[in-house]
Amino acid sequence: MSWALIPAAGRGLRFGGARPKQYLEVAGKPLLAHAMDALLAHPQVEGAVIALAADDPYWPGWTTRQGKPVITCTGGGERADSVLAALEALPASVADDALLLVHDAARPNLHADDIGRLIAAAEACAEGAILAAPVRDTLKRADGDGRIAATEPRERLWRALTPQAFRRDLLRRALLAARADGVVATDEAMAVERLGLRPRLVEGREDNLKVTTPADLALAAFLLENRE
């Protein structure tokens, strides 16, 4: 069995607006609820810890969802801090080798099939596994004044998605090491890679998008209102 850790303490500065994007309603519920429900509805997930901003006035106070426990904690200044806070808030009964699925609250369109394939990969690979999508566009590196400096070879380049799945003890060790070294890990895999490990890439749906700007919200709304 596994637990979900959901960082939901962001301010949504790139999105703008007063209400943090994870609380924007689409298809009848907040983006955060879509992310939570996708994970908690999965039979292999037994509960979730949600990292919230210290002054979050929007949290509805859920203590269960989909019939499973929901625990909250206070997140931190960076996403990695919020993930570590959620990890530390897990019940003591959760084993050191329990599988943790870290998923952005801002990624509402998660599907059960992706969750199942990710869990299977992470159970088979002690170094963990992440959902990811192969890069489909030609990638350009910019120089200082907005001109093309180079075209980057895109073979074997992937976009990291979430959830990202790691054993509790490994993830804790990796996040603490990155913090101790003053490194801001933008995803969990980056912290684990710093330990010299190579998590497995699991191809996930391209429509598992992260809502970052208002343009993303319109696409997320279409996807959530038309989920098969």
Ligand X SMILES: C[C@](O)(CO)[C@H](O)COP(=O)(O)O
Ligand Y SMILES: Nc1ccn([C@@H]2O[C@H](COP(=O)(O)OP(=O)(O)OP(=O)(O)O)[C@@H](O)[C@H]2O)c(=O)n1
52 in Cβ contact with 63 (< 8 Å) = no
Instruction: Name the residue nearer to ligand X (CB basis): 104 or 114.
Output: 104
Residue 160 interacts with which of ligand Y, ligand X, none, CB < 5 to 8 Å by class: ligand X
Distance set, CA 38 to CA 61, 80, 184 (Å): 18, 22, 27
Count CB-CB contacts under 10 A for residue 64: 11
Count CB-CB contacts under 10 A for residue 90: 19
Maximum C-alpha span of the chain: 54
Instruction: Name the residue nearer to ligand X (CB basis): 42 or 79.
Output: 79
Asked if 81 touches ligand X (CB under 6 A), the answer is no
Shortest separation between residue 20's beta carbon and ligand Y, angstroms? 6
At 179, which helix (H) or strand (E)? Answer: helix 168-180
Binding-site member from 1, 14, 143, 157 for ligand Y (CB under 6 A): 14
Asked if 66 touches ligand Y (CB under 6 A), the answer is no
Backbone torsions φ then ψ of 220, nearest 5 degrees: -60, -40
Pattern 17-56, ligand Y, x by CB under 6 A:
-----x----------------------------x-----
Residue 162 interacts with which of ligand Y, ligand X, none, CB < 5 to 8 Å by class: ligand X
Asked if 7 touches ligand Y (CB under 6 A), the answer is yes
**Residue 142 forms beta bridges with which residues?**
148
**Residue 200 forms beta bridges with which residues?**
129
For residue 13, give every residue at least 6 positions away whose Cβ sits within 8 Å of its Cβ, in sequence order, or none: none
Binding site for ligand X (CB under 6 A): 79, 104, 160, 162, 186-187, 210
Binding site for ligand Y (CB under 6 A): 7-15, 22, 51, 75-79, 82, 104-106, 210, 212
